[in-house]
Structure 1
Amino acid sequence: MRIDKYLWCVRYYKTRSIATQAIQKGHVTVNGQQAKASREVFPTDKISVRRDQINYMLTVLDIPANRVGPKLVDIYRKDETPAEAFEHLELLKLSKEHYRARGTGRPTKKDRRDLDEYGMDTDDNDEE
């Protein structure tokens, strides 16, 4: 089975064309080598997929005949993604919220002054 079709069948991508685009951009490797969309996938192949800033690592267990339901995906692949990858994603989300609340718009003059004062405070500490 082609790798783009396999990734679509095991529900890593919503459509085959999206899977093909991801492969062309270099987000998918098979057994450590850059893959083409037409590459054949066999059981025991190791696939690495980069999605949403996470490197998913999976092993092909079997080849499905058609697209499978979400409950049956584990029959055809073994997910070996380390837990640290998901923790890293959570840290990224928290760091984005730390600086400025979403939807608050551009900084006001007071916000800008506070930011400038904060920048000056850190510069003073470097000189000491």
Structure 2
Amino acid sequence: MTGVRMDKWLWAARFFKTRALASKACELGRILSNGQTSKAARDVKVGDMLQITNDSGDFQVEVLLLSEMRGPAAVAQTLYRETDESRALRQKVAEERKSMPHFEAMRDGKPSKRDRRELSRFRGRT
């Protein structure tokens, strides 16, 4: 096997949950192959450098093996090798995301008794 469709390989390597999502990412220009935007039908070859943007973050990977079948996650991780810069950048972004305060969405309607007590405690009134 010399090449595999881009969407099949992305699906087999578990970057996307379905092939349809993988092909949609290609259409939107979120997949770069050797620095150029890639279509879903483009062949992936061993040694290609891919830049993948999905919900989990930005990945920069080198293709090590080809597969058309989706297997276990342990097998999928052997298909590629992520660059050290990409891994460090993703960890930095994850740490920044954790350090940001998390706010709950405001509820519709008036606050409950518990909500009013929390607001009073927050404002310093007891």
TM range (shorter): 0.7 to 0.9
Identity of aligned residues (%): 25
Q: CA RMSD in A?
A: 2.4
Partner of 2:73: 70
Q: Evaluate the alpha carbon distance shift between residue 65 and residue 3 of structure 1 in structure 2; reply closer, same or farther with a 3 A threshold.
A: closer
Please say if 1:84 is aligned against 2:89: yes
Structure 2 distance, partners of 1:57, 1:78, is 9
> Within the alignment, does 1:32 sit opposite 2:31 as a pair?
no
The alignment partner of 2:44 has SS state of coil
In structure 2, what is the equivalent of residue 58 of structure 1? 61
For the residue of structure 2 that corresponds to 1:82, the secondary structure is helix
Residue by residue over 1:67-126, the C-alpha shift from the partner in whole angstroms, topping out at 9 and shown as x without a partner, is 1211112321112223222221331343252xxx314548x9x8xxx9xxxxxxxxxxxx
Higher helix fraction (1 or 2): 1
Structure 1 gaps, min length 5: 115-128
The whole-number CA distance in structure 1 between the counterparts of 2:8 and 2:17 is 11
Corresponding residue number in structure 2 for 1:102: 104
* Partner in structure 2 of residue 3 of structure 1: 6
> Which residue does 2:115 correspond to in 1?
none
Q: Match of 1:102, SS?
A: coil
